[in-house]
Structure formats: structure tokens, C-alpha cells
Amino acid sequence: MARKPRKKARLSRLYKRLSRWIFLLFIAFFTLLSALLLTLRFVDPPTWSWKLQREFNPPLDHSIESLHVWWDLAYIPAAMQLAVIASEDQNFPNHKGIDFNAVQQVLRDAERGRTLRGASTLTQQTVKNLFLWQRRDWSRKLLEGGLAFLLELMWNKERILEVYLNIVEFGPGVYGVAAASEYWYQLPLDRLTVNQMARLAALLPNPWHYRAEPPTPYIIERAGWIEQQMDQLGYVWLIPVTGE
């Protein structure tokens, strides 16, 4: 009869030891992740998860040549910044990484049996491009949300927008707005018209499927809508993001 209490005591000690190790591993992971995010606030990422996955497993099952040019946010035209925000995340200056109104709509759609769709903020998309995988599922969305909240704590809006504009894909292996301008128009970014910038922003849902030049009817229509949204938001709206 005395063996059962000893067995329970051993199990209890094992459980406590395991719990301690799990906690320590979590602290170590969180510390390393925080250090990485803090570093990337000041150091431009040399590569990122989305780019690596595209290179090793391109959607069209063939090798691609990566094009990437980094431009600091100060040199990216305000129209290009506004076009992307108007297209992808109009609540960017106000949320803390997650747009809960958009999330509620996604949950309502899921209850109706509809396909899981986007509704990711620019912060979530930045996290996805930097660290996560391509497949869209609930586990990735949960990680996106947690990391986006942490990113908002450690970076400012200006840095989030700068990194996003420089790593997001605008075509097969084309990363960042500067490379996209050269790839689609053979022009430097600061020589584009507002409509050309809006067309680049219109590519973002599926840059492997759409073309900015020559534009398809969908891109023409989408770019027109983006320009309307830009007019409604106004360039003063960028002040909370850039601090200018």
C-alpha cells in the first residue's frame, strides 16, 4: 500500500520538472525572438522566410531569379506608400497589429462554411513574409496574430511599413517596390505615375497571377479603386505612420 504514494510523488516530481523545462524553453525562445525582432528594427533583413520558400519551392515548379532592391522609407514616394496601405490595410495607423473588425468578419464567414480568406494587416503580412510558411491555415493565423502584436510593441509603424514595402513580392521572385518598378516598368520608383503605383499595389493579392504591365482589365479596375481610396484617405493620413 505504501508504493502508490511514492509512485504519485515521483509522477508529481516528473511533472514539475517537465513543466519547469517547458517554461524555461519558452522563456529562451521568447528571449531569442525578442532579440531578433529588436535587431531587425535597426538592421535590414538579408533574407526572409517567404523569399527562401519561393526559391526552393516556386508555385510554377521552376527555378526563378530573385530581384530585390532596398529603398529606405524616406525615399519611397508617399503615393507608393499610400497606394499599398489603401489597398491592403486602411486601418494601419490605428490598430495594434490585428484588425479585430476584419477578424470578426472572417469568423462569421467560417461559420457559414466559406473559404478561409485574408483580412491580415500589414503587420501580420510583414510577420508572415519574415518568419512563417506559405500555406494558409488557422495555426499560421494564430502565430501571425501573436507575432504581429509583439512586432507592434517593438517596432514603430514607420519601420513596419518600410520592411513590408521592401520584402513583399510583386511578381515571380520580385521583392520590394523598387525592384517591382524596374521589373514592370523599367523605371526607377520615383519616376512612376500614381496610376502605375496603384497598379503595383493591385498585384499584391496574387503577384504570380496578375500583371502590372500590360495591365489586365482586373488590374485596371482595381488600380482605379485604389486611387479613389487614396483620394479619400489623403496624404495627411500618412502623418501618424511616418511622423512627418
Q: b or e along 201-232 (b: 16 or more beta carbons within 10 Å of the residue's beta carbon)?
A: bbbbeebeebebeebeeebeebbeebbebbee
Q: What is the 3-state secondary structure (H, E, C) of 191-204?
A: HCCHHHHHHHHHCC
Tell me the C-alpha distance between 87 and 82, whole Å.
Answer: 8
Which pLDDT band, with edges at 50, 70 and 90, does 243 fall under?
A: low
Greater model confidence, 106 or 117: 106
In a domain, 82, yes or no: yes
In a domain, 41, yes or no: no
Q: Which domain holds residue 138?
A: 46-242
pLDDT at 17: 75
Which pLDDT band, with edges at 50, 70 and 90, does 98 fall under?
A: confident
Determine contact, residues 80/240, Cβ cutoff 8 Å. Answer: no
Q: b or e along 98-114 (b: 16 or more beta carbons within 10 Å of the residue's beta carbon)?
A: bbeebeeebeeeeeeee
pLDDT at 118 over 60: no
Bin 117: left if φ > 0, else alpha if -120 < ψ < 50, else beta: beta
pLDDT at 226 over 90: yes
In terms of Cα–Cα distance, which of 81, 93, 90 is closest to 157?
93
Number of domains in the chain: 1
E strand or H helix that includes residue 170:
strand 169-171
In a domain, 231, yes or no: yes
In a domain, 84, yes or no: yes
pLDDT at 152: 95
In a domain, 117, yes or no: yes
- Joined grid coordinates for residue 75: 525615399
- Using only C-alpha atoms, the chain has a radius of gyration, in whole angstroms, of 22
In a domain, 29, yes or no: no
pLDDT tens digits along 145-158 = 889 999 999 999 99
pTM score of the predicted model: 0.84
Tell me how many helices (H) and strands (E) the chain has. 11, 3
In a domain, 35, yes or no: no
In a domain, 118, yes or no: yes
Domain of 130: which CATH number?
1.10.3810.10
Which pLDDT band, with edges at 50, 70 and 90, does 179 fall under?
A: very high
